[in-house]
Structure 1
Amino acid sequence: MADDGSKEGSTWPMPKFRFEVDLGTELKGVAFQEVSGMDVENQIIEYRKSNSTLFSTEKMPGIVKYGNVTMKRGVFVNDNTFWNWHKEISMNTIKRRTVIIKLLDENGKVTMQWTLNNAWPTKITSTDLKSDGNEVAIDTLEIAHEQLIIANG
């Protein structure tokens, strides 16, 4: 018989459809359709010791590189949040923020949280327009950041 999760200590993977984003503004819990690109990668440094008897290199971790995070959400009347943040960028002056992405459980409680430090918008893509379409208008925001911190529970 399959475990239905009613026993204490049983674990199930979290569904990914209930989440909210805090852009570090007066808008808390902004609803997005999709968030992607929360990745981290270490560059590889290959090094060979001069006294090594092996004819190969050692691989060591190097500088950490964070991917840009892409967020998609519907276009709303009189809501220029993305565009206003992007307008704050000028030559060598960037309005950096802390962006928090929260994965929620069925009760709305935070189960996992991704914090993007020193985030700023690098690209905004507005919706495409089609006279024969019936889809929702979607804006896409791409954010660069300098650190990704993950917290559980």
Structure 2
Amino acid sequence: MAGEKQNSTWPLPKFYFSVTGLPGGPVSFQEVTGLETEVTPIEYRHGDSKSFYPIKMPGLGKVGNVTMRKGIFVNDASLWNWFNQIKMNTIARVTVVVNLLDETGAPKMVWTLNNAFPIKVTGTDLKSEGNEVAVESVDIAFETMTVSAP
């Protein structure tokens, strides 16, 4: 209403983000999915418990894989080159940082993927009747993820 103080706290839009830490310099992605982590609960019930329900406690944590999609540009084979560095027992691990940015370009939420390496690179589908942009994707496995709000 007119004359009332307005709340200036709004959720961040998800379209303004950056990805750093990949070999070959900064890469502009159009989509990043799979930023998730979970803990598998451990259920325990001791023998003389009067409750018929188990006690639950946190167990081992696990993370999924992150998928990143980007347009294909002339002379840009950085994702394929990174994928080709994977050999038996010699993995090119990096720290990938995904930043959700505010309107000034400052990071407000940061997901850090530790010991990341590519496990799948997918080229674009080709269609002679289409008019879409050529898009490739990379699936990245990682060991741990930290989330911070600087």
Q: TM-score, normalization: structure 2?
A: 0.93
3-state SS of paired residue (2:50) = coil
- Aligned match of 1:114 in 105, 111, 116? 111
The amino acid of 1:19's aligned partner reads F
* Structure 1, 127-136 or 41-50: larger mean CA deviation: 41-50
The runs of at least 4 aligned residues of structure 1 exceeding 6 Å deviation read none
- Aligned match of 1:19 in 12, 17, 20? 17
Cα deviation, residue 4, structure 1 = 4.8
Structure 1 equivalent of residue 95 of structure 2? 98
Structure 1 equivalent of residue 59 of structure 2? 62
Structure 2 equivalent of residue 76 of structure 1? 73
* Structure 1, 41-50 or 64-73: larger mean CA deviation: 41-50
User: Structure 2: how far apart are the matches of 1:35 and 1:55?
Assistant: 43
User: Structure 2: how far apart are the matches of 1:3 and 1:40?
Assistant: 38
Cα deviation, residue 87, structure 1 = 0.5
Structure 2: 5+ residue runs without aligned partners?
none
Q: CA RMSD in A?
A: 1.4
User: Structure 2: how far apart are the matches of 1:23 and 1:84?
Assistant: 15
Distance change (3 Å), C-alpha of 1:17 and 1:4: farther
Structure 1: 5+ residue runs without aligned partners?
none
Structure 2 equivalent of residue 137 of structure 1? 134
User: Structure 1: how far apart are the matches of 2:83 and 2:5?
Assistant: 49
User: Structure 2: how far apart are the matches of 1:115 and 1:48?
Assistant: 36
Identity over aligned pairs, percent: 52
- How many residues align? The count is 148
